[in-house]
A and B are shown apart, each in its own frame.
Chain A
């Protein structure tokens, strides 16, 4: 078994950092778009505009699925150090 990946991860810890920041920024972007959709849906549903409510729901659901999918790529947590018990 090759130790290339683990050695590379140890040599370049910033890579994990970049992936983490990228995922968080993507999630913030997706959530912002969803807030915009929700605002539009509320505003238009008040005016009996069912089409907008349905379209924004579709969009919001798709964005939620994308954000769940993004969570798969979160870097693994640091292995917990075994602490001496007090």
Chain B
């Protein structure tokens, strides 16, 4: 009986009460907030480093997409350009001789957008975001930025895309 009542040896080796071990004092909480603050600053630094070390490359050269007659007026074609990463794009035939190409990822949460000819807008079906099909700017909904755009050139019945030249935006 006396053996049972006696505390085991490890209790005297580690004399910490459970209550003491699980209790978070206000001092500890404040220190944790300080640590969290440092972590947030580091995270912000990581974004700077990432944009310095891996700047986004512009699309180089012209890329053949399809024949002009493959996409009817009001139609849309999805294509990808294979490079350092595969980015999905959409090619839109707005009117006769008027073409546009945008990244297909919505700037809100990267859902795939689609062109709605009946509305005359690009729609993101996930959260009802709408973009102007000529300029890519946001008309309505949660997307924070316009859709990135490519320049489209039609030569001898073939449709090519290249990166948008800075001096010639389609913002018309």
Residues of A at under 8 Å CB distance from B?
20, 23-24, 27-28, 30-31, 34-35, 37-38, 41-43, 45-48, 50, 53-54, 56-57, 60-61, 63-64, 67-68, 70-71, 74-75, 77, 85-86
Majority secondary structure of chain B interface residues (helix, strand, loop or mixed):
helix
A61→B25 contact, CB < 8 A = no
B48→A23 contact, CB < 8 A = no
- B69 in contact (CB, < 8 A): no
Chain A residues with Cβ under 8 A from B12's Cβ?
85-86
The total of Cβ contacts below 8 Å across the A-B interface reads 93
A86→B11 contact, CB < 8 A = yes
A60→B40 contact, CB < 8 A = yes
Interface residues on B, range: 20 to 34
With contact pairs A57-B48, A85-B12 given, residues A38 and B40 touching in the complex (Cβ less than 8 Å): yes
Query: A80 — nearest CB in chain B belongs to which residue?
Result: B20
A60→B51 contact, CB < 8 A = no
Chain A residues with Cβ under 8 A from B38's Cβ?
64, 67-68
A31→B145 contact, CB < 8 A = no
Chain B residues with Cβ under 8 A from A47's Cβ?
145
Which of chain B's residues 35-78 have a Cβ closer than 8 Å to chain A?
36-38, 40-41, 43-45, 47-48, 50-52, 55-56
In the assembled complex, the CB of A10 is this many whole angstroms from the nearest CB of chain B, namely 19
In the assembled complex, the CB of A66 is this many whole angstroms from the nearest CB of chain B, namely 8
What's the Cα separation between A31 and B32 when bound, in Å? 11
